[in-house]
Amino acid sequence: MFRLEITPLFKYTFSMLNKNNVKKIIDALIAEYPDAGCELDYGTKYQLLVSVMLSAQTTDASVNKVTPELFAAAPDAKAMAKLTQQELEDCIRSIGLYKNKARNILAMTNMLLEKYSGEVPGDFDSLVSLPGVGRKTANVVLAEAFGQQQIAVDTHVFRLANRIGLTDAKDVLRTELGLQKALPHDLWTIMHHALIIHGRRCCHARKPECGHCPINDICEKNGLQ
């Protein structure tokens, strides 16, 4: 007899909150941060891709300090490919993991030139096939550069989604899948940004400012911490 099995990948990805409370959270966060959006400075799709790669494990503000000089020297893939790794490292030395990031950016750029004529592809599978481009980076690029509804799970989104109760997941992928189930598709991108800003301004990792939080009465944090 055929039996449907739920694979481990999809366990613990569902919201702990009912639909009414999920809607209250969405409404409250969007009202609190109506202008939530990408805080990286860039001019082209390629520059966005590079900026997101640089932002791993560092702040957008730190990235924005190094990219003006970098993009002045290498505004597109052809120009970037002409830089040596040392030259690229010198431009981004002030941000974390700059050696690995320089290596990945040059490898990504060379593949972009070889396979896509230097143009950033607009589909997920092509993006994650590029060196140094993971799910988060691909989702940010698709959302910001191509207008797709995507949920990119960084450290803020992962922490908040599971602290608030929008998901109950132990890793990034399950959190992404859980948020896709919990949130309306047309609000994926804005909620991604709202969660990030809420994490930066209010729901800090160690000392969340619950007294100033617009969703404190709904949040499931007491059951999760």
What is the spatial distance between Cα 122 and Cα 131, in angstroms, rounded to a whole number? 16
What is the spatial distance between Cα 64 and Cα 176, in angstroms, rounded to a whole number? 26
User: Of 136, 168, 217, 221, which is the active-site residue?
Assistant: 136
Q: In the structure encoding, which two tokens stand for residue 53, read together?
A: 């790669």
Please give the pLDDT value at position 16.
73
Is 136 marked active-site? yes
Q: Which domains does the chain have, with CATH numbers?
A: 8-32+150-224 (1.10.1670.10), 45-146 (1.10.340.30)
User: Of 41, 76, 154, 207, which is the active-site residue?
Assistant: 154
What is the spatial distance between Cα 47 and Cα 77, in angstroms, rounded to a whole number? 9
Whole-model pTM over 0.85: yes
Contact criterion met (CB below 8 Å) for 13 and 181: yes
**Residue 159 backbone class (left: φ over 0; alpha: ψ -120 to 50; beta: rest):** alpha
Q: In the structure encoding, which two tokens stand for residue 199, read together?
A: 């994490």
What is the spatial distance between Cα 95 and Cα 91, in angstroms, rounded to a whole number? 10
Please give the pLDDT value at position 32.
96
Is 27 marked active-site? no
**Per-residue pLDDT in tens (0 to 9) along the chain, 225 residues:** 333 344 445 454 566 788 999 999 999 999 999 999 999 999 999 999 999 999 998 999 999 999 999 999 999 999 999 999 999 999 999 998 999 999 999 999 999 999 999 999 999 999 999 999 999 999 999 999 999 999 999 999 999 999 999 999 999 999 999 999 999 999 999 999 999 999 999 999 999 999 999 999 999 875 433
Please give the pLDDT value at position 139.
97
Please give the pLDDT value at position 183.
97
Please give the pLDDT value at position 1.
37
